[in-house]
């Protein structure tokens, strides 16, 4: 009887979810040629092409989407079986630190899915600026930290994503180019510093119209039309929009890093890290 490889199906699902062979390879810890070979073996076994070339990209086709639905179900059953037998071994409290803008997009899925899979693991979440989370004294409080990387650190983190920084405002906002109004977090925020550096480098006048450390406060100020801010594209709230203007310089990218530093609950920490990697990968597409 013929049998499909779950490893090949997992590679296929990762390519579809993450939008490319290279991203799937980064997520699964494999090279791009290895991912390509897994997809080729699937296609040979099924006798169907799963992707069609559109320009320089491979786009999943109708046969691929039909397989995708079954593959997600098969992998879900496989993963659920392992989770059921692992649950008795995973318990305790994990302390997670992350910037508030990631909490808004990332935490809902993590809290729901992770808590269902591992009900005996309690999550304690702290939101703060990356600089504060990685302070040499404060960082000892956490088992895992998700943070931005425009700073020197003693421990080498795992870079999950190089994300594009974008100017953000309310969809109805009309920019006054004579003096850019900024809605920002307090000093020490990477987004704030990048905005000021790029505006100053471009010779563009600016003023800070509102300051708040929480993404909720910043979002509310933007919706009231108090100015523009800078965010990583993957954290963009649904009710705000990227803004382009000749007075707004390009911002470059920022690294999103994961620090795993738990000695008390290493297995639970690894599982939580897997959830963060997968959810952050989905957000970036």
Q: Which CATH number fits the domain that encloses residue 144?
A: 3.40.190.10
User: Which pLDDT belongs to residue 137?
Assistant: 85
Alpha-carbon span 195 to 208, nearest angstrom: 11
Q: Domain residues for 240?
A: 163-254
- Model confidence band, residue 183 (pLDDT cutoffs 50, 70, 90): very high
* Residue 58 clears pLDDT 90, i.e. is over it: no
User: Which pLDDT belongs to residue 161?
Assistant: 80
Closest CA to 67 of 83, 89, 45, 87: 45
Q: What is the mean pLDDT of residues 12-24?
A: 85
105-114: pLDDT as tens digits: 777 777 777 8
- Model confidence band, residue 145 (pLDDT cutoffs 50, 70, 90): very high
Alpha-carbon span 224 to 126, nearest angstrom: 27
- CB 145 within 8 Å of CB 259: yes
Closest CA to 280 of 98, 124, 120: 98
- CB 68 within 8 Å of CB 10: no
In this structure, what token pair is assigned to residue 6?
């779950």
Closest CA to 101 of 76, 68, 83, 128: 128
Q: What is the mean pLDDT of residues 185-191?
A: 92
* Whether 196 and 119 share a structural domain: no
89-139: pLDDT as tens digits: 677 889 999 998 888 777 777 777 788 778 888 889 999 989 899 888 888
Closest CA to 42 of 79, 77, 3, 78: 3
Domain count, the chain: 3
* Residue 54 clears pLDDT 80, i.e. is over it: no
CA distances from 38 to 15, 28, 35, 274, 280 (A): 11, 12, 5, 22, 24
* Whether 187 and 227 share a structural domain: yes
Answer whether residue 54 is part of any domain. Answer: yes
User: pTM higher than 0.85, yes or no?
Assistant: no
User: Which pLDDT belongs to residue 149?
Assistant: 78
* Residue 154 clears pLDDT 70, i.e. is over it: no
* Whether 59 and 170 share a structural domain: no
* Residue 151 clears pLDDT 70, i.e. is over it: no
* Whether 156 and 269 share a structural domain: yes
* Whether 14 and 122 share a structural domain: no
Alpha-carbon span 57 to 43, nearest angstrom: 18
Alpha-carbon span 107 to 95, nearest angstrom: 13
234-252: pLDDT as tens digits: 888 878 999 999 999 999 9
Q: What is the percent of the chain where pLDDT is above 90? A: 45
Q: What is the mean pLDDT of residues 250-263?
A: 87
Answer whether residue 116 is part of any domain. Answer: yes
């Amino acid at each position: 009887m013929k049998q499909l490889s779950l490893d090949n199906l997992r590679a296929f699902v990762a390519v579809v979810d993450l939008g490319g062979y290279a991203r799937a390879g980064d997520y699964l810890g494999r090279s791009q040629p290895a991912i390509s070979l897994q997809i080729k073996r699937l296609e040979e076994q099924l006798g169907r092409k799963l992707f069609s070339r559109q320009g320089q990209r491979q786009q999943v086709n109708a046969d691929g989407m039909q397989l995708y639905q079954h593959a997600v179900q098969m992998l879900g059953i496989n993963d659920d079986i392992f989770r059921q037998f692992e649950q008795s071994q995973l318990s305790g409290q994990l302390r997670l630190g992350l910037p508030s803008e990631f909490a808004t997009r990332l935490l809902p899925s993590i809290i729901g899915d992770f808590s269902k899979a591992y009900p005996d693991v309690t999550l304690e979440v702290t939101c703060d600026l990356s600089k504060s989370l990685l302070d040499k004294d404060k960082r000892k409080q956490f088992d895992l930290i998700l943070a931005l990387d425009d700073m020197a650190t003693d421990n080498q983190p795992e870079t999950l994503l190089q994300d594009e920084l974008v100017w953000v405002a309310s969809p109805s906002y009309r920019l006054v180019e004579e003096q850019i109004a900024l809605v920002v977090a307090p000093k020490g925020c990477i987004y704030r510093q990048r905005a000021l550096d790029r505006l100053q480098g471009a010779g563009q006048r600016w003023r800070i119209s509102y300051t708040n450390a929480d993404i909720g406060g910043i979002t509310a100020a933007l919706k009231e039309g108090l100015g523009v801010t800078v965010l990583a594209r993957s954290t963009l709230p649904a009710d705000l929009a990227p803004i382009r203007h000749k007075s707004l310089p390009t911002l470059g990218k920022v690294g999103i890093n994961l620090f795993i530093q738990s000695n008390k609950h290493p297995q639970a920490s690894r599982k939580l890290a897997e959830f963060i990697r997968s959810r952050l990968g989905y957000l970036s597409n």
